[in-house]
Structure 1
Amino acid sequence: MFERVFADATARDWDDAPDGTLRMAVVGCGWQARAESLPAIATADYCTPTVVVSGSAEKRAELGGTYRVTAIDYEEYAAGVATEEYDAVYVATPNRLHLPHVETAARYGKAVICEKPLEATVERAERLVAACEEADVPLMTAYRMQTAPLVRRLREFVRDGGIGVPLRAGGDFTFPALDGERGPDQWRLDAELAGGGALFDLGVYPLNTVGFMLDTAPVSVSGETRSAGEAFDEVDEHVDFNVTFEHCVGSFSASFSGYPTTRITVQGSDGRIVVDPAFGAYENRDVTVDTDEGHVRVIGVGADETREEFDYFANAVLTGADIEPDGRDGLADVRAMAGVLESAETGRAVRLDGDRESGGPRRPRDRRT
């Protein structure tokens, strides 16, 4: 089974070799869009940037020249300027601003790939998903891990019984939010814009990736948050949360301070998978799998996941294929994370009625709407 699953850890099982190229507008030109997403779109096989949207005249001039694209501001985007120049929209603004930009794309009939988490509150995420469904436009939540060939091989391995029955999973994503040139004024530390701190920004990675690998949805969640530094007065600096899946339990953590860590473990009745590092956009994955059948290690795969993400999206839009990490997938995770924050406030576990396909439960009340 090892040989079959991991023979080619870079093979795209979703690639239909579509004709044509998807023209993309990038809405929001912060660090991630400039450093990761735009270069990935520009070098992808099936899509290309044609429009950038930014509130900064300096960024518009720089990116318009670098990528030879039309550069417009947010008012022009909302008014429909340059709609004839793009087929799809990538939304990379702060969480609470996703909704209006996605609504604009849906209004003009454009496919959407929106950064995770989908929005800052459950209610706004629901409205975002509804806007795309009512306009009948494709919506993808930007979960690059789900498009990575190696992660997809691991899901296949688990689904085929490679580690027996999954019993426990763990994951940690620690990223020092204030290191380097990042100061306390960043939007990720603003509760209104972000919706949550380490949980929303980092904890969503192990939550979604483990759920994807196990091919199952959370049943209930519980958690605790804590913040020590003054910069984290509005959001959680650290979060530890437990997730009960249908046949497995998960224990996860995320932190905005501490030694950088990105790790996933999945333990089954007959084996174990460890991915370390697991989440960094530029990190080559180091995967070990141990079972009674033997030991396998895969090293040096995964550094092009952002490009995989956009090619996956473009392939689906151009061919009409189903999108796995769709809007309902992203909505389910926003609901689960809202449940973790609710549990942290009440001290009680939160039951999540429904499943990933239907977007999970409707939470009784958001902290902010």
Structure 2
Amino acid sequence: MALESAFANFTRRDWEREDVDGTVRLAVIGVGGFARQRALPGIADGEYCETTVLVTGSPDRSRSVAEAFDIPHVIDYDAFLDGDHAGAYDAVYVATPNAFHGTYATAAADREKHVICEKPLDVSERVAREIVDACEDAGVTLMTAYRLQTEPSVRRTRELVRDGAIGDVVQIHGGFSNPLLENADPDTWRVDPDVAGGGALVDLGVYPLNTTRFVLDSEPVGVYATTHSSGPPFDGVDEHVAFQLEFPSGATASCTASFDAHANSQLQLIGTDGTISIASPFGGVVPHEMVVESGDMCMEYTGPPVDEVLEEFDYFGYCVLTGTDPEPDGVDGLADLRAIEAAYESAETGRQVELE
């Protein structure tokens, strides 16, 4: 691939191959900060989805949200499980705390509703497998909400890797840190191990983990990890994590994540013939900068950010409307959970854990 072609029409939707009519009506389950500030606006501004039902623990307090986005129905969690307004939506977006993903995703599948579920699919691979099985049995689409897989910089990176623009990938460096307590109370569910299923690794480290697997189109065969927590409120979860993934090709990915470090994210791939660097790939709110060195040539892309949340929901809606299997499907979510559980085992035992 000539580098010029990689940067031409940079934001193209290479997954959008046919014209489609209509929209997928969504029940948004869980109206936390991300759902209000990113998901609902992204859905509203997109082409292929619309929100018709809000499911929340506080219907009265969510009326203003519903009015702002012209959402006709607001119900509580029990009402959703009882099937209220089931005819008003075609699919669900599960944005509850992690431990409750399985409950609402499987309930939706039982009603033959399509599912887009926030990462991780659940707090354990076992429960996540139940979600995958329920959706397969119902014949409905299941997508794990890995929005980076629809982000143009990441998609162009995968194309460059596939075409050998930097030779064979030897090393990957990825990191994501975000000071959790700047925007959350110390009793946030994200520091409850039973509800979150882990700490910085589950919430932040999954981004470099999944993105690395995506751009390499390969599964790790070994994981080594260390974790550290300084004390409350992080005494039940990992405050900081460092982990290394080994791939069949011999490539290694060194990744870090932190709940208590200055906000930062970065991804760099080093190959035998060049490098690819993406500045701030995981934060989602800053302009992306991408630099590719290939042999003696160096090219840079700098531009305004694409709303990867909008892209994610349009991709999901497009897949449902066209019967296309999404790339970040349930199996993709299972693979990350397998690696996450291996990383925690490694951190506890002090040894590398092999993956099948």
The interval holding the TM-score normalised by the smaller chain is: over 0.9
Report the residue type matching 2:340 in the other structure: M
Instruction: Tell me whether 1:13 sits opposite 2:36 in the alignment.
Output: no
| Distance in 1 of aligned mates of 2:135 and 2:296 | 46
- Written as runs of structure 1 = structure 2, the 5 A alignment for 1:1-369 is 1-15=2-16, 16-69=18-71, 70-180=73-183, 182-247=184-249, 248-353=251-356
Are the structure 2 counterparts of residues 229 and 299 from structure 1 closer, same or farther at C-alpha, using a change threshold of 3 Å? farther
- CA gap 1:21/1:107 in 2 versus in 1, 3 angstroms: same
- How far, CA to CA, are the matches of 2:355 and 2:138 in structure 1? 28
Deviates more, 1:11-20 or 1:32-41: 11-20
TM-score scaled to structure 1, two decimals?
0.93
Distance in 2 (CA, whole Å) between partners of 1:120 and 1:300 is: 36
Q: Offset at 1:59?
A: 3.4
Distance 1:203 1:174 in 2: 9
Question: Hey, what's the Cα distance between the residues in 2 that align with 1:102 and 1:311?
Answer: 20
Cα deviation for residue 57 of structure 1 reads 2.6
Q: C-alpha displacement at 1:23, in angstroms? A: 0.8
- Map Cα deviations across residues 254-300 of structure 1 (whole Å, 9 max, x no partner): 00011111000100000001111110122221111111141111112
The 2-side partners of 1:345 and 1:58 are apart by 44
SS in 2 for 1:243: strand
Superposition RMSD on alpha carbons, in Å?
Answer: 1.0
Q: 2:38 is paired with a residue of what secondary structure?
A: helix
Distance in 1 of aligned mates of 2:127 and 2:245: 23
Letter in 2 for 1:10: T
329-338 vs 273-282, greater mean Cα deviation? 273-282
SS of equivalent residue, structure 1 residue 10? coil
TM-score w.r.t. length of structure 2: 0.97
Residue 9 of structure 1 deviates from its aligned partner by 1.1
Structure 2 residues not aligned, in runs of 5+: none
| Structure 2 CA distance for partners of 1:301 and 1:326, relative to 1, 3 Å | farther
* Counterpart amino acid of residue 267 in structure 1: I
Counterpart code for 1:289: V
Q: Distance in 2 between matches of 1:162 and 1:302?
A: 24
Q: Is residue 153–residue 290 contact of structure 2 (8 Å, CA) maintained in 1?
A: no
Question: 3-state DSSP class of the match of 1:289?
Answer: strand
> Shift of the alpha carbon at 1:306?
0.5
Which piece of structure 1 moves more, 339-348 or 144-153?
Answer: 144-153
Check conservation: 2:151, 2:306, Cα contact below 8 A: no
Amino acid at match of 2:117: C
| Alpha-carbon distance in structure 2 between the residues aligned to 1:13 and 1:59 | 40
In 2, distance between residues paired with 1:237 and 1:306? 26
Matching residue of 1:361 = none
How far, CA to CA, are the matches of 2:67 and 2:237 in structure 1? Answer: 37
Letter in 2 for 1:205: Y
CA distance in 1, matches of 2:147, 2:287: 14
How much does 1:64 deviate? 2.2
1:301, CA displacement in angstroms? 4.3
Q: Give the residue type in structure 1 aligned to 2:303.
A: G
Q: What is the aligned residue count?
A: 352
In the TM superposition, residue 86 of structure 1 has moved relative to its aligned partner by: 0.7
Q: Are the counterparts in 2 of residues 225 and 238 from structure 1 also a CA contact under 8 Å?
A: yes
Shift of 1:5: 1.3
- TM-superposed deviation, 1:60: 2.8
C-alpha distance in 1 between matches for 2:61 and 2:49: 22
Counterpart residue type for residue 11 of structure 1: R
Change (3 A) 1:352 1:301: farther
Structure 2 match to 1:365: none
The answer to whether the 8 A contact 1:148-1:302 is kept is no
Aligned-residue offset at 1:251: 0.4
Measured after TM superposition, the shift of residue 67 of structure 1 is: 1.9
State the alpha-carbon separation in 2 of the partners of residues 264 and 237 from structure 1: 21
Deviates most, 74-83 or 275-284: 275-284
The answer on whether the counterparts of 2:43 and 2:50 sit within 8 Å (CA) in structure 1 is: yes
Q: Tell me which amino acid in the other structure corresponds to 1:9.
A: F
The percent identity for this pair of structures is 47
Structure 1 residue ranges (4+ consecutive) displaced by more than 3 angstroms after TM superposition: none
How far does the alpha carbon of each residue in 1:77-123 deviate from its partner, in whole angstroms, 9 at most, with x for none? 11111111111100000000000000111011011000001111121
Q: Which amino acid aligns with 1:190?
A: D
